[in-house]
C-alpha cells in the first residue's frame, strides 16, 4: 500500500475536493464540537444538539423572536366570503391576473416548503437551523392560505386550472423551471458552487419573485376590491420579509467565513436573469390592463427591489439609475401598524410571544 506523505499530491487533491464539497449534517455526532469558537454557519462539526443557551449569531435570537411573534393562521382572516362576491365583479384582466398570480405564489411556497429542509441539512448552526424550521412551517401556512383563498373565492371548476396554470402557460413554466432546476442541481450534486447558486436562488425567490404579485393585490385593495385577499397577502408578505432578512444574514456569514465560496459575478448574473424573468412574467400577466400598474412601473419596481435586496448584502446597486419605488401610494398598506390601513384589520392578532421572551431563549 502506498503511504501518503503530508505533502503528497493525492492528499492535497483530497483536501481540495473536501473543501469544495458541502457536508450534510449527521443526525447524531458524538465527536461533534458545538463550541462557539469553532462553530460556523456551514461545514461545521455539530453534535446534533440544539443548545440555545450558546448562540454565536445574535441576529438569530432576534429573528426567532420576530418570526414566532408573527404567528397567524388563515382560518382567522375574515371576509373571504365577501371577496367571493367581489371576484365576480372584477373585469376580465383583473380575474386573469388574480388567478395567474395565485398560481405562481402557490408554486413558490410549495417549492419552499419542500426545499428548505435541504438547506437545513447543511447549516451547522443550531440557532439558524431553528429559524429554517420556523420558516418551513410558515411556508406551509402560506400554501394553506392560497388554498383557503381558492376554496372560498373561486368556483370549484376553476381551481385545478389555477393550480396547474403553469403547465399551459409557457412564460410561467419558464419561471418555475428556472428556480426548480437550480434547487434540483444542488440536490443532485452538493458542490459548493451549486449550494451557493441555490442559496442565491432562494434569496431571489423570497426577495424578488413575490412582490409584483403583492403589488397587484395591494392595488386591488387600494381600489376597494378583494379586501380579505389583500389582508391575507399582507400577513404573508410580513413573513416573507423576515425570510429575506434571514437569508441575507446567512449569505453575509458565508461571505465572511468562506470567502472562496462567494461569487459576486454569479450572484449579479442571477439577479439580472431573475429581474428579466420577473418583468417578463409580470408584463405577461398584468400588462397595461390593471389600473395603477403599467409596464413602466413594473420594470422600475422590479429593479428598485433588486437594488434594495443587494443593499441588504452590502453590495452596490445593479441598476443605479433606479432610485425610487413607483408604488409610494401603496407603502403604507404594507404596514400592519399604520393608521391608514383600516382595511387590513381583522381577527388575526400579533401574538405576544416575542415580547415575553425579553431577549432570552428561556421561556
> What CATH number is given to the structural domain containing 141?
1.10.620.20
- Mean pLDDT of the residues in the chain: 85
* Separation between Cα atoms, residue 21 and residue 13, nearest integer Å: 12
Q: Which of 112-126, 264-278, 345-359 has the lowest mean pLDDT?
A: 345-359
Overall average pLDDT of the 223-242 stretch: 94
Overall average pLDDT of the 242-267 stretch: 97
Asked if residues 34 and 126 have their Cβ atoms less than 8 Å apart, the reply is yes
Q: Which of 3-12, 243-252, 283-292 has the lowest mean pLDDT?
A: 3-12
Q: Is 47 among the domain residues?
A: no
Which of 302, 292, 339 lies closest to 322, judged by CA?
302
Q: Is 189 among the domain residues?
A: yes
Model's pTM, two decimal places?
0.86
Which pLDDT tens digit goes with each residue over 33-82?
A: 988 999 999 999 989 888 778 899 999 999 999 999 999 999 889 999 99
Q: Is 112 among the domain residues?
A: yes
Higher pLDDT, 315 or 158: 315
Asked if residues 89 and 108 have their Cβ atoms less than 8 Å apart, the reply is no
153 confidence band (pLDDT: 50, 70, 90): very high
Taking residue 308's Cβ as centre, other Cβ atoms within 10 Å add up to 16
Q: Which of 19-28, 123-132, 272-281, 301-310 has the lowest mean pLDDT?
A: 19-28
* Separation between Cα atoms, residue 34 and residue 40, nearest integer Å: 9
* Per-residue confidence (pLDDT) for residue 51, from 0 to 100: 78
* Per-residue confidence (pLDDT) for residue 288, from 0 to 100: 86
* Per-residue confidence (pLDDT) for residue 333, from 0 to 100: 62
Interior CA angle at 237 toward 234 and 239, to 5°? 115
Taking residue 55's Cβ as centre, other Cβ atoms within 10 Å add up to 18
334 confidence band (pLDDT: 50, 70, 90): low
Q: Is 39 among the domain residues?
A: no
Question: What is the residue range of 319's domain?
Answer: 78-345
Q: Is 21 among the domain residues?
A: no
Q: Which of 283-287, 290-294, 327-331 has the lowest mean pLDDT?
A: 327-331
146 carries an active-site annotation: yes
Overall average pLDDT of the 252-275 stretch: 97
Q: Is 91 among the domain residues?
A: yes
Catalytic residue (choose from 146, 211, 235, 327)? 146
Residue owning grid cell 395567474: 100
Which pLDDT tens digit goes with each residue over 96-139?
A: 999 999 999 998 898 899 999 999 999 999 999 999 999 999 99
Overall average pLDDT of the 160-172 stretch: 87
Q: Is 5 among the domain residues?
A: no
* Per-residue confidence (pLDDT) for residue 332, from 0 to 100: 63
Overall average pLDDT of the 305-317 stretch: 97
Number of folded domains in the chain? 1
Q: Is 16 among the domain residues?
A: no
What are residue 123's DSSP bridge partners? 42
Amino acid at each position: 500500500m502506498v503511504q501518503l506523505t503530508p505533502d503528497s499530491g493525492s492528499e492535497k487533491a483530497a483536501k481540495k475536493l473536501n473543501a469544495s464539497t458541502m457536508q450534510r449534517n449527521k443526525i447524531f455526532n458524538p465527536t461533534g464540537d458545538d463550541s462557539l469558537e469553532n462553530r460556523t454557519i456551514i461545514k461545521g462539526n455539530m453534535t446534533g444538539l440544539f443548545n440555545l443557551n450558546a448562540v454565536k449569531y445574535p441576529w438569530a435570537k432576534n429573528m426567532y423572536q420576530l418570526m414566532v411573534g408573527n404567528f397567524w393562521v388563515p382560518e382567522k382572516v375574515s371576509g373571504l366570503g365577501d371577496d367571493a362576491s367581489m371576484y365576480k365583479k372584477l373585469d376580465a384582466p383583473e380575474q386573469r391576473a388574480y388567478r395567474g398570480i395565485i398560481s405562481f405564489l402557490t408554486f413558490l411556497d410549495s417549492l419552499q416548503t419542500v426545499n428548505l429542509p435541504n438547506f437545513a441539512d447543511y447549516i451547522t448552526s443550531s440557532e439558524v437551523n431553528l429559524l429554517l424550521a420556523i420558516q418551513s412551517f410558515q411556508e406551509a401556512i402560506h400554501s394553506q392560505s392560497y388554498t383557503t383563498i381558492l376554496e372560498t373565492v373561486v368556483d370549484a371548476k376553476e381551481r385545478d386550472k389555477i393550480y396547474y396554470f403553469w403547465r399551459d402557460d409557457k412564460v410561467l413554466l419558464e419561471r418555475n423551471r428556472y428556480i426548480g432546476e437550480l434547487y434540483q442541481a444542488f440536490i443532485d450534486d452538493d458542490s459548493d458552487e451549486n449550494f451557493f447558486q441555490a442559496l442565491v436562488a432562494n434569496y431571489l425567490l423570497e426577495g424578488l419573485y413575490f412582490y409584483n404579485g403583492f403589488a397587484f393585490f395591494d392595488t386591488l385593495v387600494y381600489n376597494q376590491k378583494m379586501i380579505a385577499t389583500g389582508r391575507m397577502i399582507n400577513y404573508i408578505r410580513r413573513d416573507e420579509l423576515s425570510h429575506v432578512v434571514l437569508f441575507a444574514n446567512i449569505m453575509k456569514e458565508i461571505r465572511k467565513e468562506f470567502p472562496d465560496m462567494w461569487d459576486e459575478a454569479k450572484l449579479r448574473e442571477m439577479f439580472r436573469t431573475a429581474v428579466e424573468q420577473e418583468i417578463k412574467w409580470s408584463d405577461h400577466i398584468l400588462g397595461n390592463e390593471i389600473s395603477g400598474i403599467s409596464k413602466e412601473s413594473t420594470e422600475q419596481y422590479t429593479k428598485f427591489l433588486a437594488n434594495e435586496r443587494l443593499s441588504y448584502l452590502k453590495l452596490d446597486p445593479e441598476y443605479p439609475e433606479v432610485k425610487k419605488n413607483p408604488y409610494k401610494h401603496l407603502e403604507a398598506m404594507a404596514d400592519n401598524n399604520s393608521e391608514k390601513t383600516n382595511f387590513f384589520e381583522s381577527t388575526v392578532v400579533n401574538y405576544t410571544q416575542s415580547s415575553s421572551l425579553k431577549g432570552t431563549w428561556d421561556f
